[in-house]
């Protein structure tokens, strides 16, 4: 058992570990950083659209996560380049549903109103902006 006094919260913390090669400070830092990992995974679940994993091996999971990360960063870069008013998730959705259309990406991501030309269907707006 390792005891550590946290001066910020003025609490004495106790940790149980079986690693006798690191100091009490290192153990306490590891436990403190565990919360950051939980926050990161929560962010992944909220922002990346990973419904099911392609595989269950370590390599398959890593490949899927790296692909999702790269895709998210590419879409975020496109969003920033065109100064799109949509969120990264909305940009990704727009790109995925219009992949076979001959629409310029800049036009697609900077439109504030959807094109409803020659349509007699009354549709609800997918994106609502409160300016």
DSSP state letters, 54-69: S-SSHHHHHHHHHHHH
pLDDT, tens digit (0-9, with 9 covering 90-100), for 4-24? 887 888 888 888 888 888 887
Q: Which residue has the tokens 């009354």?
A: 122
Number of domains in the chain: 2
Average the pLDDT over each of 1-5, 63-67, 80-84, 89-93 and give the range with the smallest value.
1-5
Cα distance between residue 42 and residue 18, in whole Å: 28
Domain match, 38 and 83 both = no
In a domain? residue 125: no
- pTM for this model (two decimals): 0.54
User: Pairing mode, if any, of strands 11-15 and 2-6?
Assistant: antiparallel
Task: Express as a percent the part of the chain with pLDDT over 70.
Answer: 84
Q: Are residues 64 and 37 in the same domain?
A: no
């Amino acid at each position: 058992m390792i005891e550590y006094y946290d001066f910020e919260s003025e609490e004495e913390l106790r940790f149980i570990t079986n690693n006798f090669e690191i100091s009490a400070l290192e153990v306490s830092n590891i436990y403190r950083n565990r919360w950051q990992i939980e926050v990161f995974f929560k962010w992944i679940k909220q922002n990346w659209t990973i419904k099911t994993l392609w595989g269950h091996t370590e390599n398959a999971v890593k490949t899927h996560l790296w692909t999702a990360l790269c895709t998210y960063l590419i879409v975020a870069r496109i969003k920033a380049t065109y100064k799109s008013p949509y969120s990264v998730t909305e940009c990704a959705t727009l790109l995925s549903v219009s992949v076979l259309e001959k629409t310029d990406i800049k036009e697609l991501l900077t439109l504030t109103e959807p094109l409803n030309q020659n349509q007699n269907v009354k549709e609800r707006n997918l994106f609502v902006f409160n300016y």
